[in-house]
Amino acid sequence: MRDGLISLGRRLLARRGAALSLAFLALVALAAAFAGLLPLDPLGQSVADALKPPSSESWFGTDELGRDILARVVYGARTSLVTAFGAVLTAALVGVPVGLVAGFYGGWRDSLLMRCIDVLLALPNILFAMALIAVLGRSQSAALIAVGVAGIPGFARIARAQVMTLRSLDFVTAVRGFGGKPGYIMFRTILPNALSPLVVQAIVLASIAILLEAALAFLGVGVPPPTPSWGEMLRTGKSYLYEAPSYAVLPGLVLTLTILSFDTIGRALTAILDRDETDASGATIGGRR
């Protein structure tokens, strides 16, 4: 499995778009992780410096309170990435076991679990997240949970499909024949062989989580100020588009590039995995002939 992941990473880096996307995301992640070591203050206010254009002193300009927009973009990256990582982790920890159990056992367990998943899938993500935040209160933890719960159906459906494909193969039958318990078969035999599509789903959900977190902040129900958030900067910056266009445009550009980078990587991984499946199918057919 380790060699397969290394090979997958090499083929991903061989694609120029995916490599550039990885480089950009690495830059954003490093800036967010080490923001405290940079000479940036996202909360420092100076009314005299309000709405200044980009300059050598403030590369992205300042907001209506004189705060450095670049500093708030960097710290906002921390908010977005933590929310995305937490949402993906929450969705995977709940959705993957649900999909494994539903696909492995089938019958009434499958029907019950997947009907619950269908209910979540039928709810609009943004409305469900807003309702959950209304119950839990406005905080980063609430936004993380809301976005994570909205991502559960995707992991559950993919895990179920993988289990239903793999459970009848020879290596699973062999483990069952040697007395393997259901839990061992699901999590130690089937799950490692179903990681590739789940990794793709995690990357896709990360981009959705960042967009949803920004949308919640833009609507005024996301992370409360003064915590920096890209969506919050877009919400306040739209009121100053004529006086200081960089206020909304530059954070919006970083947000767009981040989402596009995740999407590009997800598409590249999907193309690589589809090609592997096609090659494997062709080899099987050729062998039979």
Tokens found for residue 135? 């119950």
The pLDDT tens digits for 212-263 are 999 988 988 888 888 899 999 999 998 888 888 889 899 999 999 999 999 9
CA dist., res. 278 & res. 265, Å (int): 20
Residue 237 lies in a domain: yes
pLDDT: is 103 or 143 the higher one?
Answer: 103
Residue 111 lies in a domain: yes
Other C-beta atoms within 10 Å of 114: how many?
19
Q: What is the pLDDT of residue 210?
A: 93
Residue 147 sits in which domain range?
A: 13-288
CA dist., res. 253 & res. 85, Å (int): 21
Residue 67 lies in a domain: yes
pLDDT: is 58 or 30 the higher one?
Answer: 30
Assign residue 281 the CATH number of its domain.
1.10.3720.10
Residue 35 lies in a domain: yes
* Report field, pTM of the whole predicted structure over 0.85: yes
Mean pLDDT of the chain: 87
CA dist., res. 26 & res. 32, Å (int): 10
Q: Give strand pairing partners of 68.
A: 62
Number of independent structural domains in the chain: 1
Q: What is the pLDDT of residue 125?
A: 82
DSSP state string for 255-278? HHHHHHHHHHHHHHHHHHHHHHHH
| The pLDDT of residue 133 is above 90 | no
| The pLDDT of residue 1 is above 60 | no
Q: Which residues contact 137 (CB under 8 A, 6 or more apart)?
A: none
Q: Which residues contact 132 (CB under 8 A, 6 or more apart)?
A: 142, 145, 146, 149
Residue 7 lies in a domain: no
Q: What is the pLDDT of residue 158?
A: 93
Average pLDDT, stretch 56-64?
88
Residue 8 lies in a domain: no
CA dist., res. 21 & res. 131, Å (int): 33
CA dist., res. 130 & res. 173, Å (int): 45
The pLDDT tens digits for 170-211 are 888 888 888 888 888 898 889 988 888 898 899 999 999 999
How distant, in Å, are the alpha carbons of 8, 215, 259, 267, 281 from that of 240?
Answer: 45, 19, 24, 36, 56
Residue 150 lies in a domain: yes
